[in-house]
Amino acid sequence: MTVTAPAPSATRVPATDVLLDFANVELTFPDGTIALQGVDLVVKRGEFVTVVGPSGCGKSTLLRIASGLESASQGTAELGTDRIGYVFQDATLLPWRTVAANVELLAELHGESKKARAAKAKEAIDLVGLTGFEKHLPKALSGGMKMRASLARSLTLDPELFLFDEPFGALDEITRERLNDELIRLFTAKNFAGLFITHSVSEAVYMSTKVVVMSGRPGRIVETFDVPFAQPRDPDIRFTPEYAALVGEVSHALRKGHGHS
Amino acid sequence: MTTISNETIVTDGVDNVEAHPTPELPATLSTARPKAKKRGFGRWLPPLLVFLAIVGVWYLISLFVLDPHLRFLLPLPQDILIKGFLAPLAFNALMVALYQTVIVSMLGLAIAIVIGVAWAVAMSQAKWIERSLFPYAVILQCIPILALVPLIGFWFGYEFQSRVLVCVMIALFPMVNNTLFGLQSVDKGHKELFTLQGASRSTTLVKLSFPQALPAIFAGMRISAGLAVVGAIVGDQFFRRGTPGLGILISNYSSRLQGEELFATIITAAVFGVVVFWLFGLLGRRVVGKWYDFT
């Protein structure tokens, strides 16, 4: 009997698939400000990478380059997929559309049929727990629910790479922790790769498989940490010494990076 | 497909306190109701008192200040009603003129809305178009239209079409200005949302900019509607051929010192102006009131 080839693993896309590859990315604004400098960053399938850094360090610029809203002045930014979800800092829901119509918007912009987009919207709305609120206008929703709707809207694209620009930054602590847990659950269920921007070290360590620490202007990557805890996360890991130690290390790196600028 | 467990439902309950606050606050609700009623009554009482005071002063002046032969300067209210509104001849003339003014002003307004919105949409598409066209919108606003009226008469005659043209010219600027402001008030995040999906210019206009601009467009319509009524009355006084409108009636009555009929016509014109303003406010609230606080 010969060695069995590991054929079954080929049906599942290898976990090493590179979905985002930044090599020596630099962005200089027209006024001469250097927003990013020498950024090397790889996000692979199955990874949830969080970028932490002081405000104004170019974290969001990273996502803007990744999504094509901005282009790098130097270096290369390559994507391994065109199915990209982008969740903004604000929910950016259209105030005249109901929750369902907002969630349908992206499929509508891609010219999908009414039936197809309604089905997608329904699935996404169920997934983020907004069932029953389809007919509500955004102004009738709380901040947390608006973010859920925004998340659902991106989910209709069935993204392989999900970009999050401090999506829960404006929410209260309780809502934020709940949404963190739900996002992790979606991440494990949907198997997308995540690039998540935040200024909360605790949030970064809790959610991600990898934490990238950036320095203040010009934004550079100071240090990268692998987070060893199993996904989906047990909320109680927040109270373990290993978690506290890692948060401490990341905070330390953040302070050091801040000191440089 | 995964579903999110019961925790989600709990979350929604917490999240949703803002959205449905009423069931939590029955006590506040019961005290709020009579208060709201009182507020409604309180809102109408002061203007009503002012109205009664004005009518009172009116009677005093008519009866005790003016000589009877000068009473056409301020006729008694009941005479205005009887001679100005209810007398068959006056009533007929008034209705014909009102109809004419309604047609002229609303046609002028409709044309101003179409041109104004198209002009603003064109300007919103490129900075160079805006730079080329906006100065002319401002100039149009700054030219005293009355100075152009004789010219309009030369070119287009002294009838219907010239009156409509005056309405259009007076009503155009608020439409251009408000629509442009509305189209440009699109949120940057919303715009990027559309950009990321590769939405075309026209799709972005139809699905984003235009709906976003609707509250401003309706606010502009309300201003322009009032101006169109002014335009119709002014146009009447210069272009006197054809079926008379309220403006012609006003100048006829004033030259014949028919005080009662003159007042009735002025009141009709004023009421028409108010009705138009109110109607367009109502229309605005109907269309965008659900998501925009249109006042």
Split at pLDDT 50, 70, 90, the class of B148 is confident
Residues B158 and B46 placed together within one structural domain of the fold: no
Q: Rounded CA gap, B10 and B12, in Å?
A: 5
pLDDT tens figures, B167-199: 999 999 999 999 999 999 999 999 999 999 999
Nearest CA in chain A to B193: A92
Split at pLDDT 50, 70, 90, the class of A190 is confident
Residues B52 and B80 placed together within one structural domain of the fold: no
Q: Is A8 helix (H, G, I), strand (E, B) or coil?
A: helix
Residues B175 and B271 placed together within one structural domain of the fold: yes
pLDDT tens figures, B101-129: 999 999 999 999 999 999 999 999 989 99
Q: Rounded CA gap, B281 and B224, in Å?
A: 12
Work out the average pLDDT over B67-83.
Answer: 90
Residue B17 confidence (pLDDT): 38
pLDDT tens figures, B268-291: 999 999 999 999 999 999 999 999
Residue B31 confidence (pLDDT): 40
pLDDT tens figures, A28-38: 988 888 889 99
Work out the average pLDDT over A49-72.
Answer: 89
Return the CATH number at B86: 1.10.3720.10
Residue B27 confidence (pLDDT): 33
Smallest Cβ–Cβ distance between B194 and the set A109, A145, A175 belongs to A109
Number of helices (H) and strands (E) in chain A: give both, helices first: 8, 9
Residue B282 lies in a domain: yes
Q: Do B291 and A92 touch (CB under 8 A)?
A: no
Residues B61 and B92 placed together within one structural domain of the fold: no
B35 in A contact zone (CB under 8 Å): no
Burial of B65 by CB count in 10 Å (0-12 exposed, 13-18 middle, 19+ buried)? exposed
**Interface with B, mutate which of A83, A178, A188 (most B CBs under 10 A):** A178
- Give the structural domain span for B33: 20-65
Work out the average pLDDT over A202-213.
Answer: 93
Q: Min CA distance, A248 vs chain B (Å)?
A: 30
Q: Rounded CA gap, B42 and B45, in Å?
A: 5
Q: Are B243 and B96 in contact (CB under 8 A)?
A: yes
A86 neighbourhood in chain B, CB within 8 Å: 193, 196
Cβ contacts of residue A128 below 8 Å, gap of 6+?
Answer: A148, A149, A151, A152, A155, A182, A186, B4
Rounded to the nearest 5 degrees, what angle is found at the Cα of B9, between the Cα atoms of B8 and B15?
Answer: 85
Rounded to the nearest 5 degrees, what angle is found at the Cα of A96, between the Cα atoms of A94 and A97?
Answer: 70
Residue A82 DSSP class: S
Q: Are A221 and A23 in contact (CB under 8 A)?
A: no
pLDDT tens figures, A114-134: 999 999 999 999 999 999 999
Q: How many structural domains is chain B composed of?
A: 2
Work out the average pLDDT over A125-149.
Answer: 94
Helix axes B210-238, B160-184, angle to 10 degrees: 160
Smallest Cβ–Cβ distance between A94 and the set B1, B16, B190 belongs to B190
Work out the average pLDDT over B128-133.
Answer: 94
A185 neighbourhood in chain B, CB within 8 Å: 2, 4
Q: Across-strand partners of B236?
A: none
Residue A108 confidence (pLDDT): 95
Complex ipTM? 0.87
Q: How many CB pairs under 8 A join A and B?
A: 89
Q: Are A196 and A51 in contact (CB under 8 A)?
A: yes
Q: Min CA distance, A3 vs chain B (Å)?
A: 35
Residues B58 and B194 placed together within one structural domain of the fold: no
* Rg for chain A, CA atoms, rounded: 19
Q: Min CA distance, A69 vs chain B (Å)?
A: 7
Residue A241 has pLDDT above 90, yes or no: yes
Residue B294 lies in a domain: no
Residues B58 and B88 placed together within one structural domain of the fold: no
Q: Do A136 and B19 touch (CB under 8 A)?
A: yes
DSSP code per residue over A146-212: HHHHHHHHHHTT--SEEEEESTTTTS-HHHHHHHHHHHHHHHHHH--EEEEEES-HHHHHHH-SEEE
Residue B39 confidence (pLDDT): 65
Residues B60 and B195 placed together within one structural domain of the fold: no
Residues B54 and B95 placed together within one structural domain of the fold: no
Mean pLDDT of chain A: 88
What is the 3 state secondary structure string of chain B?
CCCCCHHHHHHHHHHCCCCCCHHHCHHHHHHHHHHHHHHHHHHHHHHHHHHHHHHHHHHHHHHHHCCHHHHHHCCCHHHHHHHHHHCHHHHHHHHHHHHHHHHHHHHHHHHHHHHHHHHHHHHHHCHHHHHHHHHHHHHHHHCCHHHHHHHHHHHHCCCHHHHHHHHHHHHHHHHHHHHHHHHHCCCHHHHHHHHHCCCCHHHHHHHHHHHHHHHHHHHHHHHHHHHHHHHHHHHHHHCCCCCCCHHHHHHHHHHCCCHHHHHHHHHHHHHHHHHHHHHHHHHHHHHHCCCCCCC
Cis peptide before A218 (omega within 30 of 0): yes
| Closest C-alpha among A42, A63, A51 to residue A197 | A51
Q: Are B157 and B241 in contact (CB under 8 A)?
A: yes
Residues B115 and B39 placed together within one structural domain of the fold: no
Residue A136 has pLDDT above 90, yes or no: yes
B286 neighbourhood in chain A, CB within 8 Å: none
Residue B247 lies in a domain: yes
Residues B135 and B275 placed together within one structural domain of the fold: yes
In chain A, which among 69-98 make CB contacts under 8 A with chain B?
A: 69, 84, 86, 88-90, 92, 94-96
Residue B37 confidence (pLDDT): 52
Residue with tokens 């901040």: A143
Work out the average pLDDT over B235-250.
Answer: 90
Residue B218 lies in a domain: yes
Residue B210 confidence (pLDDT): 96
Q: Min CA distance, B206 vs chain A (Å)?
A: 11
Split at pLDDT 50, 70, 90, the class of A16 is low
Residue A171 has pLDDT above 60, yes or no: yes
Residue B71 lies in a domain: no
Nearest CA in chain B to A68: B196
Residues B142 and B223 placed together within one structural domain of the fold: yes
Nearest CA in chain B to A145: B15
Residue A12 confidence (pLDDT): 41
Q: For each of the domains in chain A, give its residue range(s) and CATH number, in order of start.
A: 15-83+159-260 (3.40.50.300), 93-158 (no CATH)
Q: Which residue has the higher pLDDT, A252 or B1?
A: A252
Residues B173 and B32 placed together within one structural domain of the fold: no
Residue B245 lies in a domain: yes
Q: Are A251 and A49 in contact (CB under 8 A)?
A: no
Cβ contacts of residue B202 below 8 Å, gap of 6+?
Answer: none
Residue B210 lies in a domain: yes
A84 neighbourhood in chain B, CB within 8 Å: 196
Residue B10 lies in a domain: no
Smallest Cβ–Cβ distance between A95 and the set B7, B189, B291 belongs to B291
**Interface with B, mutate which of A136, A142, A156, A231 (most B CBs under 10 A):** A142
Q: Rounded CA gap, B205 and A54, in Å?
A: 37
**Main-chain dihedrals φ then ψ at residue A48, nearest 5 degrees:** -125, 100
Q: Do B189 and A90 touch (CB under 8 A)?
A: yes
Q: Do B12 and A129 touch (CB under 8 A)?
A: yes
Q: Rounded CA gap, B294 and B282, in Å?
A: 9
Q: Min CA distance, B178 vs chain A (Å)?
A: 19
